[in-house]
Amino acid sequence: MTDNNKNLYELGELSDYKVAADYSDVRGWDVIDNQNRNIGKVEHLLVSKKAERVVYLDVEVDKNVIEDGYNTFQLPAIDGVHGFVNKDGDDHLIIPIGMVQLDEDKKKVHSNQIDYTTFAKARRYNKVDVIEPDYELILLRHYVGDTTIDSIKFDDEFYKRKEFENSLPVKNK
């Protein structure tokens, strides 16, 4: 995918965008699941230029989550066919901004809708990779547990879903 066709941008890539003054910049904050377990740290805010706002948190996943993710696939073959969905170096994942709440006092991001096991089984990506729309769709289906979310709906309406509400707005400098 070329830069011209790129869908998501790290906020730092866009010199004419910044987090609006009345919102917290959550980069560097810990991400906590619905059971109060650490998932990782927010490394980047991902902006959709089309939607003109932050739509995802890019999270560097904690090593324990990665190890637990490998362990979930260590079941005997008799229990079903299991394959690794992540490669070495795949240590990032994205979380739709509407699926988190901010604890500004403690500088933590809480994902009360997603549990630790769901994060451990999630498909991750390598931070040098461009995030493809297919990856967004796969992960959204995984987080909400709905495989019927259709790729045909991946258009201007995609980021209007409830999972993207309460976004961190960005504004031009």
Of 37-51, 52-66, 127-141, 142-156, minimum mean pLDDT range: 142-156
Q: Which of 1, 8, 4 shows the shortest CA–CA distance to 154? A: 8
Give residue 82's pLDDT. Answer: 41
Q: In 21-72, at which residue ranges do the beta strands (DSSP E only) sit?
A: 30-32, 38-48, 53-61
14-44: per-residue pLDDT in tens? 988 888 888 889 999 999 998 899 999 999 9
Domains along the chain with CATH numbers? 3-172 (3.90.50.10)
Alpha helices in the chain (DSSP H): 63-71, 116-121, 133-144
Supply the pLDDT for residue 154.
61
Torsion of CA 30, 126, 73, 113, to 10 degrees: 40
d(CA 82, CA 25): 38
On the question of pLDDT at 152 being above 70, the answer is no
Residue 103 CA to residue 24 CA, distance in Å, equals 10
Task: Report the relative pairing of strands 53-61 and 38-48 from DSSP bridges.
Answer: antiparallel
**Beta pairing partners, 54:** 47
pLDDT at 70 over 90: no
Q: CB burial class (10 A; 0-12, 13-18, 19+) of residue 9?
A: middle
